[in-house]
Amino acid sequence: MSKNPSITERLIRNIFAGLLDLFRIGNSPLSGFTLLRKYFSPKDLREITSAVANSEKTHRGELKVAIETKFPIFQIFSGKTASDRALEMFSFLKVWDTEENTGILIYILLSEKKIVTLADRGIYKKIGQEKLNLISSKIGEGFKSGASKDAILTGIKDLTQELSKHFPAGKKNPNEISNEPYIS
């Protein structure tokens, strides 16, 4: 979604996102995420959950969308990037822990406007990181045009096509990871 900012720019963006989160509106679970509300409504998040659930009916893969409004400040000082954080989230959310190693994470860092798509080793053998990077770029273009929900839905659709081709649904197709986006 954006070029690589300096450490100062990253600090400013993430501190600002943290300050915005202090201004709560209402009592809903999303009330503290001001930056999140800029891009997604509760209805949008329900549509994303539904799209993931529908996608997973057509293949044996597991999709997970993770949206973070800000990057931990101490990690900026330690030199970590959005890609590093996506890898941490891949592990934290146990996307790697599927029976056939077919988990995919779409990681979105709103404060820095970064999108990273990672997949488990079963996916890499068939799809590869280049294809995942193209899907991330496509999602980023959607964000730039102001259609964040539609961009994620398009990314899910593109991943669904690839997964359906390489990992079609079988008789046994358990839901191994929650379909709801992880938000922090």
Structural domains of the chain ordered from first start: 7-183 (3.10.310.50)
Cross-strand bridge partners of residue 66: 107, 182
CA atoms within 13 A on the CB side of 107: 26
**Cα–Cα distances in Å, from 7 out to 4, 13, 66, 85?**
9, 10, 23, 15
Q: Are 111 and 16 in contact (CB under 8 A)?
A: yes
Query: What is the rounded distance in angstroms from the CA atom of residue 84 to the CA atom of residue 107?
Result: 11
Q: pLDDT 10s digit of each residue in the chain, 184 long?
A: 546 777 788 777 777 666 666 665 545 555 556 778 888 888 999 999 999 999 999 999 999 999 998 887 888 888 899 999 999 999 999 998 888 888 999 999 998 889 999 999 988 888 888 999 999 999 999 999 999 999 999 999 999 999 999 999 888 878 889 999 999 8
